[in-house]
């Protein structure tokens, strides 16, 4: 597609068409909406009106994209299989939908040399209107004294049963100034609900209760729960037991501390 004909509607339209059968959702945003909330060291170095698109995985990504990916490419997978699958899906979408066009693709698991994430997934999801980002500061009269509580996004349809996978920045594609920033649906409006959400996410995230803070239209299948419930280091063994990887497949090298905690974000 020629750069001059590219606009927000056809970028999101093409991506939606490509991704809809793979269990991903896409939401457009302006770089300026994102940068205006962040300190300079997190800014995306593009003009404020530049188009970006945040990509989420929904519960059906596992069956619609991941299992078929493992079936086809499983033998070649060396690092985190979900990350590799997402990368494969996003890079094929970009090269098929926008051949020859420069698109800056950033994945949730990628770090800058400074060890900071390449983009803040939750802030991007919030400003695109995809999922409200509930932070400590959204609770009045906080009960936690000085403790730092990590924030969590809630999707209006999937609750916590989704992940934020990538940000695509379309340098040179500008969003019209008439486009208003959408407010994400505030699905957890009460103080009590927000306390419950943040405590479940920070203290009991392993039991996944935070994901059901609102009734979701769909959750992860039992197979997907088994996968994400398995520690990352043991997932290759689980995939082998499902018949995906050849017995002789080498395990990847153990990853350094923060990386190994972060990989396998489901
Ligand atoms: C590092 C990281 C971790 C670290 C540290 C956690 C943290 N939040 O810092 C560790 C390893 C502990 C971790 C753990 C988990 N993580 Co984690 N993690 C990340 C990662 C890679 C970066 C987060 C980060 O460093 N943020 C930096 C801090 C400074 O950002 P911040 O607190 O949001 O602060 C900014 C905002 O406040 C903003 N801001 C200021 N004012 C305003 C106003 C508004 C309105 C807004 C919107 C923003 C805003 O400015 C601040 C920066 O200056 C993200 C993916 C990504 N690329 O973003 C996933 C991510 C946050 N993790 C995620 C998950 C699910 C988990 C786990 C449950 C693990 C799992 N297996 O799934 C656990 C649970 C957390 C816990 N209880 O400990 C999900 C959260 C999904 C969601 N629904 O929100 C993410 C988004 C990954 C994903 N692919 O979806 N994680």
**Tens-digit pLDDT profile for residues 58-92:** 999 999 999 999 999 877 888 999 999 999 999 99
Residues with CB under 6 A from ligand 1: 37-39, 42, 108, 117, 119-123, 126, 133, 135, 150-153, 160, 163-165, 201-202, 205, 261-262, 264-266
CA dihedral 207, 80, 106, 67 (to 10 degrees): -80
Distance in Å, CA 188 to ligand 1 centroid: 18
pLDDT value of position 6: 66
The closest-lying atom of ligand 1 relative to the alpha carbon of residue 39 is 53
So what's the pLDDT on residue 78? 85
Cα of 62 from ligand 1 centre, angstroms:
22
Which pLDDT value is given to residue 264? Answer: 62
Q: What is the domain range of residue 40?
A: 3-259
Query: Of 96, 1, 12, which is closest to residue 52 (Cα–Cα)?
Result: 12
> What ligand 1 atom has the least distance to the C-alpha of 110?
57
Residues ≥6 apart with Cβ < 8 Å to 81: 66, 70, 74, 235, 236, 239
Q: Please state, in angstroms and rounded to a whole number, the distance separating the CA atoms of residues 91 and 93.
A: 5
The domain total for the chain is 1
What is the average pLDDT across 208-219? 98
User: Has residue 264 been placed in a domain?
Assistant: no
Q: Which atom of ligand 1 is nearest to the CA of 154?
A: 83
> What pLDDT is attached to residue 261?
44
> Model confidence over 40-64: pLDDT tens digits?
999 999 999 999 999 999 999 999 9
- 193 sits in which H/E element: helix 191-203
Write the pLDDT tens digit of every residue in 119-143: 999 999 999 999 999 999 999 999 9
Three-class DSSP category at 152: strand
What is the mean predicted confidence (pLDDT) over 186-209? 97
pLDDT of residue 177: 87
Q: Which residues are 104's β-sheet partners? A: 169
Instruction: Answer whether residue 266 is part of any domain.
Output: no
Nearest to 124 by CA among 212, 51, 23, 15: 51
Mean pLDDT for the stretch of residues 170-188: 95
């Amino acid at each position: 597609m020629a750069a001059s004909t590219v606009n927000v509607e056809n970028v999101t339209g093409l991506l939606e068409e490509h991704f809809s059968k793979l269990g991903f959702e896409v939401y457009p945003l302006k770089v300026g909406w994102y940068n205006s909330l962040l300190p300079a060291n997190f800014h995306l170095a593009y003009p404020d009106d530049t188009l970006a698109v945040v990509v989420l995985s929904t519960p059906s990504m596992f069956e619609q994209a991941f299992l078929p990916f493992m079936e086809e490419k499983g033998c070649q997978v060396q690092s985190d299989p979900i990350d590799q699958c997402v990368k494969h899906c996003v890079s094929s979408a970009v090269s098929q939908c926008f051949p020859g066009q420069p698109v800056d693709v950033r994945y949730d698991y990628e770090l800058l040399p400074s060890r900071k994430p390449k983009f803040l997934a939750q802030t991007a999801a919030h400003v695109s209107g995809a999922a409200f980002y509930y932070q400590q500061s959204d609770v009045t009269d906080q009960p936690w004294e000085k403790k730092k509580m990590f924030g969590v996004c809630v999707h209006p349809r999937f609750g916590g049963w989704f992940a934020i996978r990538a940000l695509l920045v379309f340098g040179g594609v500008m969003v019209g100034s008439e486009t208003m920033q959408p407010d994400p649906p505030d699905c957890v409006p009460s103080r009590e609900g927000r306390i419950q959400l943040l405590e479940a996410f920070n203290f009991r995230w392993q039991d996944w209760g935070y994901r059901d803070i609102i009734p979701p239209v769909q959750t992860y299948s039992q197979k997907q729960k088994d996968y994400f419930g398995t520690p990352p280091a043991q997932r290759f063994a689980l995939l082998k037991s499902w018949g995906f990887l050849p017995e002789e497949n080498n395990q990847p090298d153990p990853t350094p501390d923060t990386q190994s905690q972060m990989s396998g974000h489901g």
